[in-house]
Amino acid sequence: MKFDIITIFPKVITEYLTVGVLSNAIKKGIVEVNVHDLRKWTKDNHRSVDDTPYGGGPGMIMKIEPVYDAIKELKKQNTVVALTTPKGEELNQKKLMEYSENTDLHMIILCGRYEGFDQRIHDNLVDYEFSIGEYVLSGGELPALVLVDGISRLLPGVLGNEESLVSESFNDGTLEYPQYTKPEEFNGWKVPDVLLSGNHKEIASYRQSLKKSV
C-alpha cells in the first residue's frame, strides 16, 4: 500500500512517520509513505502555492496549478486522490477498514491550508474529500496522518499482536473495557479484585459487562 502526501509542511508529517506502529509498518515494507513539498511544483520565483480569492474576501486560497502538476506526476491508473477538508465526509473506522482491505491501494493525500482550495481542484481532481471531525484545524497535515495511521495499523503484519485488533474498540461495535497494570494499588487506588482472582471466566464476564456499545 502506498501513500503520497502533498503538503507545504513536510516536516510535520515525516517526524510522525519515524515512531511507533507506522514506522514499523514502513520498515517492514507493508506501507510506503512519500511526503512531497507542494512548492516543488511551483514555477514562479516566490514559489507561491496560494493567492487572493476572486470576488474579494478574507484569507488566501490554494492555487490549482501546483496541485494539478503534482497530481499529474504522481497519479497512476488506480490512484485515489484524497483531500483534507472540514467539509468532507467524516472519517470513521468502517471507512478505514474498507481502505485497508485494498492492499494495492495507492492514495495521494492533499493537505489543505489557508481558507481552502480553488473550487476547480475539488470539482476536477479529487475522488475523496474527508474530515476527521466537526471542528476546524489550521491545516490538513494532522487529518492526513490520521488517515494513514488508521489504515496502516489494520494491515496484516503491522501490529505485533493480531489479537489486539480482534478485541479492539470499534471493530466489534463496542468500546474496549478498562485495563490496569502493576502496581495493584497506587495512592490508595486499587485494581478491581476480579482481575486479580485468576478466574478467567469471571474476568471475561466482568470485561464484557464493562464494554460500551457505540
- State which H helix or E strand residue 130 sits in: strand 128-131
Q: Which residues contact 84 (CB under 8 A, 6 or more apart)?
A: 109, 110, 111, 112, 129, 130, 131, 132, 139, 140, 143, 144
**Which positions ≥6 away from 212 have C-beta within 8 Å?**
174, 175
Shortest Cβ distance from residue 78 to ligand ADE (Å)? 24
Residue count, binding to ligand ADE (CB under 6 A): 12
- 64 or 137, CB closer to ligand ADE? 137
Look at residues 85, 80, 92, 87 and name the one whose alpha carbon lies nearest to residue 127: 80
Shortest Å, Cβ 33 to ligand ADE: 18
Site for ligand ADE contains 112 (CB under 6 A): yes
Beta-carbon contacts of 32 under 8 Å, excluding residues fewer than 6 positions away, are 1, 2, 3, 26
DSSP helix/strand/coil, 124: helix
Q: Candidates 6, 62, 132, 158: give the one binding ligand ADE (CB under 6 A).
A: 132
Grid coordinates given for 144: 492526513
Nearer to ligand ADE (CB atom), residue 22 or residue 111? 111
- Specify the residue, 115 or 168, whose C-beta has the smaller distance to ligand ADE: 115
Print the binding letters for residues 141-180 with ligand ADE: x by CB under 6 A, - otherwise: --x-------------------------------------
Q: Which is nearer to ligand ADE, 84 or 100 (CB)?
A: 84
Binding stretches for ligand ADE (CB under 6 A) = 84-86, 112, 131-133, 135-137, 140, 143
